[in-house]
Amino acid sequence: MAKFDENVEVITKEETKAKVPKKYKVILLNDDYTSMEFVVYVLESIFHKTPTEAHNLMMSVHTTGSGVAGVFSFEVAEMKVAMVTEAARQNEYPLRCVLEEE
Ligand code: TYC
């Protein structure tokens, strides 16, 4: 609280609450045309999965329709989506992934 003159009082309150940054899921979507090998390659190279993790996650996406490849800050998640999309287009696959707020 600061008193400037007889008539005006300015009350200041410090903003102390640190906001927890939101996290975003990168969700891989199934399709009928992308090869299983390519999806495994994407999960290993872009999402740093082990060969076993990549295989299991790929099969889970294949059977259920979607799966979480990873959880990241918005900037990193956006970059992962761009990298997957670019690699898929280079290889002429329709593979898609999307962001979802956690
Ligand atoms: N369904 C694809 C196939 O049978 C494999 C696949 C798995 C594609 C996961 C996309 O995100 C995906 N070749």
Contact 44, 70 (CB under 8 A): no
**20-30, pLDDT tens digit by residue?**
999 999 999 99
Report pTM: 0.84
Phi first, then psi, for residue 97 (nearest 5°) are -140, 155
Neighbours of 39 (CB within 10 A): 26
Q: Is 61 in the pocket of ligand 1 (CB under 6 A)?
A: yes
Q: How far is the CA of 91 from the centre of ligand 1 (A)?
A: 14
Lowest-pLDDT range, 4-13, 32-41, 91-100? 4-13
Pick from 31, 43, 57, 59 the residue to mutate for probing ligand 1's pocket: most ligand atoms within 8 Å of its CB: 31
Closest approach atom of ligand 1 to CA 35: 13
**53-86, pLDDT tens digit by residue?**
999 999 999 999 999 999 999 999 999 999 999 9
Q: What letter would DSSP give residue 68?
A: E
pLDDT of residue 83: 98
pLDDT of residue 2: 45
